[in-house]
Structure 1
C-alpha cells in the first residue's frame, strides 16, 4: 500500500510542527535551541560556580560531629598540664585536617584544637596527629602562655 505524496507532506509538516514546538528561538541570528535546555548566562554560570565554592568552603570550615569528640580527652588532659587560670577556657573547637587534594594520601592529616581564652583575644592551638598525639602547642594573636611560642 503506497501513500500519496500529499499524505507524506502532511505527516512531515506535522513532524516539523512538533519539532518547532520543542524548540524556542534565542533571538540571536534566529538560532533555535531545545526549550528544555536553556543557555546559561554568564551571571547564572558564575552564581552556580560561587555556590559550589561556598558549599565546599562550608564543608571544610565546619567540623564534622566525630571531630569534636575525636581527641577531646587528650585535649582536656593537655589543657590541665598548661599554666592556665581556672575557668580561662572560653570555647573549644576541634577540627580535623583532611586531605582534599590527593586521592592517594591519608584521609586525615591530623587534628587541631583551637581554644579561645577569656584572658586574651586570640587562640591557643594544640596541633595533634590523627592518633591524637600532641605535636606542638602555640598561641595566636595577643594570647601569651608561659612556655609556649606565639605566632
Structure 2
C-alpha cells in the first residue's frame, strides 16, 4: 500500500480517504456489480461519507496494457441523491488511486 501511495503522489493524485465500510455495504455493491474491488470501493465511499443506501448503480470500466493484462479499474457509482456519478479509480490490485465526481455529481464537503 505504501508504494501505491508513493506512485499516486508522484502522479499528482490524492488517494481517497478510507474508512471502514458500513455494515452490508460490500454485499450491496456485490449485488449491483460483483467485483473483487468492491471492498476498496466501499471503503472509499465510507471515507468520503457516501452511504451505500444512496448508491443507485455500480459499473466497472477497466484499463489494459498492450499484452492485455488488467492494469486498473474505474468504479462508476451512480447516486440516488444527485445526477452524474462518483468515480473511484483503482490500480490492478484494487488499491484506490483517487475519487472524483463526474457529470454533475459532487463529493460531500471535506471534513
Unaligned runs of 5+ in 1: 1-66
Output the aligned Cα RMSD.
2.2
Residue 116 (structure 1) aligned to one of 62, 78, 85: 78
Normalising by the residue count of structure 1, what TM-score does the alignment of the two structures yield?
0.46
Q: Do residues 136 (structure 1) and 98 (structure 2) align?
A: yes
Q: CA deviation at 1:78?
A: 1.4
Contact 1:68 1:94 in 2 (8 A): no
Asked which structure has the greater CA Rg, the reply is 1
Partner in structure 2 of residue 73 of structure 1: 39
Determine the C-alpha separation between the residues in 2 that align with 1:120 and 1:111: 23
Determine the C-alpha separation between the residues in 2 that align with 1:143 and 1:122: 5
Higher relative contact order (CA 8 A, sep 6+): 2
Normalising by the residue count of structure 2, what TM-score does the alignment of the two structures yield?
0.60
